């Protein structure tokens, strides 16, 4: 039997599973099946890769698989939905670290010999270590910002971009030395210098990952997560070239390309360029509470809010991170069902950057079994917002801030938002009048048609549900 042919067929099958799995992930209705299809493809790829190894240390393989499976199962079962963004960021980092170690290991295996090495191989090793290092350390910073371990505001200092540029130029210079030193063969005495060059590149990559991420504000973390996800895919793709594994090249390319596409979608959703996200330090200056916009907020009680909702014939929910913190998605779905039974047309409008990662609100509502057909995007509902009886904002802030449309001096100016302020009545569920994650005051709170329902979102919605049940 031609085992090489069989392995090739298996790799092609795994790649097909990856492609179809990724396609299915693009729709909430098929996302769960898409995840399963992709997992099957990865299983085929891993088994095929192991079958190609001349010598397998099964003890290490079983131990690694056991530890990884245990960590994955515990993370899936125990990590709260509010912690999902930082967990995704952390997984991106581990993907980058794995690629870095693959590149390092491959070079270590070649280091002892003084034979000439192809330039292509040296370049791919360099890229694997460089991208993997930047991804790992950058993801740790993103994790820290999302988890609150590091301040969410951008950490800026004089000459920050200049320092990052110097480090990048230094990486290129050392990389040229690293890649060209082995082309004609090196004496044994010169091998240590090549190894040291790789260590220096890895160290500078880790530093660059930290310095390039700390200057990005917490409000931009959805974009950063997408970008780091793309980096992890590119690092895996480079690792595939290093070890000559076709399925790793394919899967890494898919992740890298999809991450870049998603990054572009997130930037468009904020009407900002990627360069602006990475280098502007957005959110470094936070406006003082109550000084940006003047007016008097109009509080409303759950009983009065019920009377408004009971008479409504069209209701749009706009969820945000506050809903995730309060774990209110289940009672929100229950309230939506009661409104539908009462004759109201109910929709859930999800802004692309709502929450702390792409699709955060979609995941929460899917967990609560909200029908996929009820989920809409801002461009779907904004043209008819003036005809909406009630817009209910649950923990969202920046994505409903009318300053993006009305105030040219606002940092949010030009950002597409959900135009809840144009609805007949807007009920905002929030704990206080404090600014959102971007640190920008919200004039929505003082609009004539806005009513503020203060308190924990879950408790407030539960009271509304109780009123309907009565």
- The H-assigned helical ranges of 283-408 are 302-310, 321-326, 329-341, 360-367, 378-381, 403-406
pTM of the model: 0.81
pLDDT at 307: 93
Q: Could you tell me which of 244, 214, 223 has the C-alpha nearest to residue 106?
A: 244
pLDDT at 433: 83
1 burial level (CB within 10 Å; 0-12, 13-18, 19+): exposed
pLDDT at 112: 56
pLDDT at 407: 85
Q: Please tell me the distance from the alpha carbon of residue 196 to that of residue 381, in angstroms, as a whole number.
A: 58
pLDDT at 290: 39
List the pLDDT tens digit at each of the 470 positions of the chain.
577 888 889 999 999 999 999 889 877 778 889 999 999 999 999 888 888 777 778 888 889 889 988 988 888 788 877 777 888 888 889 999 999 999 998 888 776 554 556 788 889 999 999 999 999 999 999 888 888 788 777 888 888 888 999 999 999 999 998 888 755 555 544 567 788 899 999 999 999 999 989 888 776 777 888 899 999 999 999 999 998 888 899 999 999 999 999 888 888 887 777 887 777 655 554 444 434 566 788 999 999 999 999 999 999 999 998 898 888 999 999 999 999 999 999 999 999 888 777 788 888 888 888 988 899 999 999 999 999 999 999 988 889 999 888 888 888 888 899 999 999 999 999 988 887 766 778 899 999 999 999 999 999 999 999 999 88
Whether the Cβ atoms of residue 227 and residue 155 lie closer than 8 Å to each other: no
441 noted as active-site residue? no
Catalytic residue among 304, 380, 398, 419: 398
Q: Could you tell me which of 206, 207, 226 has the C-alpha nearest to residue 274?
A: 226
CATH class (in words) of the domain with range 302-469: alpha beta
Output the six-digit token pair for 171. Answer: 């990486």
pLDDT at 230: 93
**Helix or strand run (H / E) with residue 314:** strand 314-319
Torsion angle, CA of 220/221/224/225, rounded to 10 degrees?
A: -150
Whether the Cβ atoms of residue 267 and residue 274 lie closer than 8 Å to each other: yes
442 burial level (CB within 10 Å; 0-12, 13-18, 19+): buried
pLDDT at 291: 43
């Amino acid at each position: 039997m031609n085992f090489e042919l069989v392995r090739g067929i298996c790799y092609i099958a795994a790649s097909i599973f990856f492609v179809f799995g990724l396609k299915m992930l693009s729709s909430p209705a098929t996302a769960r099946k898409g995840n399963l299809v992709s997992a099957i493809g990865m299983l085929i790829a891993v088994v095929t890769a192991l079958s190609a190894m001349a010598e397998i240390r099964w003890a290490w393989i079983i131990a690694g698989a056991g530890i990884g499976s245990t960590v994955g199962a515990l993370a899936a079962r125990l990590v709260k939905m509010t912690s999902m963004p930082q967990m995704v960021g952390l997984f991106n980092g581990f993907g980058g670290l794995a690629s870095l170690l693959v590149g390092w290991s491959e070079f270590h295996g070649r280091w002892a010999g003084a034979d000439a090495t192809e330039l292509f191989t040296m370049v791919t090793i360099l890229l694997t270590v460089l991208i993997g290092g930047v991804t790992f350390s950058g993801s740790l910073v993103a994790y820290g910002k999302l988890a609150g371990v590091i301040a969410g505001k951008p950490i800026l200092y004089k000459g920050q971009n200049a320092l990052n540029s110097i480090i990048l130029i230094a990486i290129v210079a050392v990389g040229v030395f690293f890649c060209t030193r082995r082309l004609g063969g090196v004496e044994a005495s010169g091998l240590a210098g090549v190894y040291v060059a790789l260590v220096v590149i890895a160290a500078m990559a880790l530093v660059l990952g930290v310095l390039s991420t700390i200057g990005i504000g917490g409000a931009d973390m959805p974009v950063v997560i997408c970008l780091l996800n793309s980096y992890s895919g590119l690092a895996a793709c480079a690792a595939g070239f290093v070890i000559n594994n076709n399925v790793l090249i394919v899967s890494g390319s898919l992740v890298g390309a999809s991450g870049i596409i998603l990054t572009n979608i997130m930037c468009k959703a904020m009407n900002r360029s990627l360069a602006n996200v990475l280098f502007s330090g957005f959110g470094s200056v936070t406006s003082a509470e109550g000084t940006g916009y003047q007016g008097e907020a109009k509080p409303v009680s759950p009983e009065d809010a019920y009377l408004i909702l009971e008479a409504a014939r069209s209701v749009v929910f706009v969820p945000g991170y506050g809903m995730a913190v309060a774990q209110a998605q289940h009672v929100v779905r229950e309230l939506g069902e009661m409104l539908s039974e009462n004759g109201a047309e109910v929709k859930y409008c999800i802004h692309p950057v709502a929450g702390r990662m792409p699709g955060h609100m979609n995941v929460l509502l899917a967990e609560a079994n909200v029908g996929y057909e009820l989920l809409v995007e801002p461009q779907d509902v904004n043209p008819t917002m003036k005809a909406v009886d009630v817009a209910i904002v649950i923990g969202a802030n920046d994505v409903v801030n009318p300053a993006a449309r009305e105030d040219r001096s606002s940092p949010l100016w030009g950002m597409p938002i959900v135009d809840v302020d144009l609805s007949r009545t807007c009920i905002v569920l929030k704990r206080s009048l404090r600014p959102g994650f971007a640190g920008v005051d919200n004039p929505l709170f003082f609009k004539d048609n806005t009513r503020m329902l203060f308190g924990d979102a879950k408790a407030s919605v539960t009271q509304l549900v109780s009123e309907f049940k009565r």
